């Protein structure tokens, strides 16, 4: 039977070769190109605000302390709560004395990876953004001189600032730096999608993998044209044709900051990480579910005036839309234990 051995060997090699090719072609396996979606371990930080335990803890206290508002009843966490994916669950935010504001509260998840902040991009960094709500008479309406005077005489805060920023005053700079240091710790990077990218082929379902392929296919969903790797944003601004733009005196978005005609009605592309936790959606809170979001894009928007060129009817089937929604649901990092800070006494 020795004459059979070369044939048997060839069969074995052929089988091994087929198996290797099958593994490479397995649609359930992430490709090297897919791994561009993996986030860096930590968000970048300014040279003068390197992260430290003292800075993060101080920022956490400030973030959750309602005494940073004029009526001592609204903290940063009032609009960016861990209970709602670091948003607030409202269509549009509420500010000073429950005033209804014009835009939804964006999540702070992964904002440390962004190169520009806020729906209209009016702030470049987390440090620049941090004090804005406190100063705004529509939001926390705080007198900053009174705030810093109170922080300076409170023994617990005084000690916390000294530990975090030794030799520096308690002022707008150190307060905003501390809040930003905390916000950079609010990171989503261990979702089923992330685990799939790292090699766990069973971390996502077949529907979710199909949804990812549709999401990134320029001839299908083309979602990745704006929601780019790795943080699902291009840090750019787009008019996506929301119905609210067709109303009288619509919110012009980025145009108010940079008056270029193409930016009229354009808003910043938000990250989609943990997006299943942050309903309702869009800057005006007009979509209550992810299904409504995908249906909006599949129609090519509701209002075509000044529509961004990337927004076109997609002709996706119901199954394809379901797969894209299923993929977006795979972008949620499982809940981690979170301890609220112990706030200083009055």
Active site residues: 139
Nearest to 129 by CA among 137, 144, 119, 138: 119
Nearest to 312 by CA among 321, 301, 322: 301
Residues 238, 241, 244, 246, Cα dihedral to 10°: 120
Contacts of 257 (CB under 8 A, 6+ apart): 120, 121, 122
Query: Would you call the peptide bond into 102 cis, given omega within 30 degrees of 0 as the criterion?
Result: no
The backbone torsions φ and ψ at residue 84, rounded to the nearest 5 degrees and listed phi first, read -125, 40
Q: Alpha helices, DSSP H only, in 26-52?
A: none
Tell me which long-range contacts 81-89 makes (C-beta under 8 A, separation of at least 24).
Answer: 82/338, 84/277, 84/278, 85/109, 85/274, 85/275, 85/276, 85/277, 85/278, 86/186, 86/274, 86/278, 87/277, 87/278, 89/279, 89/280
Contact 290, 329 (CB under 8 A): yes
CA pair distance 142, 64, nearest whole angstrom: 15
Nearest to 96 by CA among 66, 141, 146, 143: 141
């Amino acid at each position: 039977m020795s004459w059979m051995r070369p044939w048997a060997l060839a069969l074995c090699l052929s089988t091994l070769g087929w198996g290797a090719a099958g593994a490479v072609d397995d649609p359930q396996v992430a490709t090297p190109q897919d791994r561009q979606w993996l986030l860096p371990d930590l968000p970048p930080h300014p040279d003068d605000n390197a992260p430290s335990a003292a800075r993060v803890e101080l920022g956490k206290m400030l973030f959750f302390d309602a005494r940073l508002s004029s009526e001592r009843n609204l903290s940063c966490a009032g609009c960016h709560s861990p209970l709602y994916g670091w948003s607030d669950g409202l269509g549009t935010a509420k500010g000073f004395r429950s005033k209804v504001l014009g835009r939804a509260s964006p999540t702070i998840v992964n904002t440390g990876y962004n190169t520009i902040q806020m729906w209209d991009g009016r702030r470049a960094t987390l440090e620049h953004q941090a004090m804005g709500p406190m100063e705004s008479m529509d939001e926390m309406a705080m007198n900053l001189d009174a705030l810093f005077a109170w922080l300076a005489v409170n023994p617990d805060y005084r000690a916390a600032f000294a530990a975090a920023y030794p030799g520096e005053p308690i002022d707008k700079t150190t307060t905003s730096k501390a809040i930003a240091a905390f916000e950079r710790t609010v990171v989503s990077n261990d979702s089923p999608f992330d685990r799939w990218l790292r090699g766990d082929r069973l971390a996502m379902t077949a529907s979710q993998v199909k949804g990812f392929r549709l999401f990134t296919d320029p001839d299908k969903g083309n979602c990745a044209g704006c929601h780019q790797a790795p943080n699902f944003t291009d840090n750019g601004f787009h008019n996506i044709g929301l119905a609210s733009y067709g109303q009288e005196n619509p919110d012009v978005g980025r145009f108010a900051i940079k008056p270029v005609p193409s930016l009229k009605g354009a808003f910043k592309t938000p990250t989609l990480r943990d997006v299943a936790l942050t309903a309702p959606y869009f800057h005006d809170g007009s979509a209550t579910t992810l299904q409504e979001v995908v249906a909006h894009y599949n129609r090519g928007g509701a209002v075509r005036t000044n529509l961004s060129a990337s927004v076109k009817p997609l002709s996706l089937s119901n199954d394809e839309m379901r797969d894209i929604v299923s993929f977006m649901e795979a972008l949620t990092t499982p809940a981690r234990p979170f301890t609220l800070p112990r706030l200083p006494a009055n």
